[in-house]
Amino acid sequence: MALQALQALQSSGVAFRKILAHFPEDLSLAFAYGSGVFRQAGPSSNQKDSMLDFVFAVDDPLAWHKRNLKKNWNHYSFLKILGPKTITAIQNNYGAGVYYNTLVMCDGKVKILAMNENAVLRSALDKNLRSAVSAAFLMLPESFSEEDLFTQIAGLSYSGDFRMVIGEDKSKVSNIVKPNIGHFRELYGSILQQHPQVVYKMQQGRLEIDKSPEGQFTQLMTLPKTLQQRINHLMDPPGRNRDVEETLFQVAHDPDCGDVVYLGLAAIVRPSSMKQSAKGIITAGIKKSLIYSSLKLHKMWKGWLRKTP
């Protein structure tokens, strides 16, 4: 199962668990990602000097921020003066529901650090992997390579993200995928092998997917409800008020089905990324945000120079 792959990644971070000692306990999930953890392609990629990106998932953000303010007061921007209630309200009510900070000094390197025995969380993680596969299938041709699939999956969260226009290296997604095909295969291999609509030729690294209207309708019906509703909103003419299933049935017969799915994703990601970035200036602080942005722009500039003949 895909969860077994997650558990394998979790166990590989045992040597780095000491980083969790810097933060309050009661984490439902803690993981690190990015070029500081997973090797990326490109001459500018240097794991030793790369910033480490972490995500902490907690059941009670207010209680966690209360404890973290006592333990790591200097990690916060001026918002710490307003207290944990304001911090939690800003986290929950704006952007992606994430409290973002950057340039925090700490030690250790990890992948998945900790995952509590939470059946709901584990189910959500597994469902997320399967949803990513379904969305990627809809945007790919009938036959494609593993690298094509994993590049499509890795790019889902960047669909419509304004930071890909300014602030990110345009080769970011392929740089993530190329050196980490094995990691992607570990996460998605069992899903692909068990998928009823897929012919997975693992030895050749090739896949074939059912692109008939019936096959695409099945894939559309497995997408997350939010994405289905966004597609319905985009495709439902004024005054028709069709239900979601009727709209998806029409989209399944559309030669541009993949483009419609992309537009639906972009309509979700774009406003969220803009609000989250604006919120990040407040949560991280203006000085750190400027430093972080300058590092991103420098990296993007180096990416441009690599492509210049």
Structural domain range at position 76: 2-117+277-299
pLDDT score at 151: 93
Instruction: Look at residue 165 and tell me if it is in a domain.
Output: yes
Whether 304 is covered by a domain: the verdict is no
Q: Are residues 247 and 282 in the same domain?
A: no
- List, as one string, the DSSP characters of 192-243: HHH-TTEEEETTTTEEEE--SHHHHHHHHHTS-HHHHHHHHHHHS-TTT---
Which stretches of the chain drop beneath a pLDDT of 50?
1-12, 14-15, 108-109, 111-112, 167, 297-298, 301, 304, 308
Torsion over CA of 77, 81, 84 and 90, rounded to 10 degrees? -60
Q: What does the pLDDT read at residue 50?
A: 61
Q: How far apart are CA 189 and CA 4, in angstroms?
A: 11
Tokens of 283: 């949560």
- Report the distance separating Cα 158 and Cα 146, nearest Å: 19
Q: What is the pLDDT of residue 274?
A: 77
Are residues 128 and 220 both part of a single domain? yes
| Tokens representing residue 105 in the block | 């000094």
pLDDT for 195 equals 93
- Give phi and psi for 215, each to the nearest 5: -65, -40
CA neighbor of 231 nearest in space, from 141, 134, 148: 134
Predicted local distance difference test score (pLDDT) of residue 301: 47
47 shares a domain with 159: no
Q: Is residue 305 part of a domain?
A: no
Domain annotation covers residue 306: no
The pLDDT value recorded for residue 223 is: 96
Residues 73 and 191 in one domain: no
Same domain, residue pair 264 and 145 = yes
- Which pLDDT value is given to residue 9? 41
Same domain assignment for residues 113 and 124? no
Radius of gyration of the chain from its Cα atoms, rounded to whole angstroms:
21
Answering whether pTM is above 0.95, one says no
Asked if 104 and 129 sit in the same domain, the reply is no
Are 180 and 241 in a shared domain? yes
**What pLDDT was estimated at residue 165?**
56
98 lies in the same domain as 126: no
The answer to whether residues 55 and 128 belong to one domain is no
Phi, psi of 195 (to 5 degrees): -70, 125
Query: Per the structure, how many domains does the chain have?
Result: 2
Q: Are residues 130 and 262 in the same domain?
A: yes
Q: Are residues 132 and 112 in the same domain?
A: no
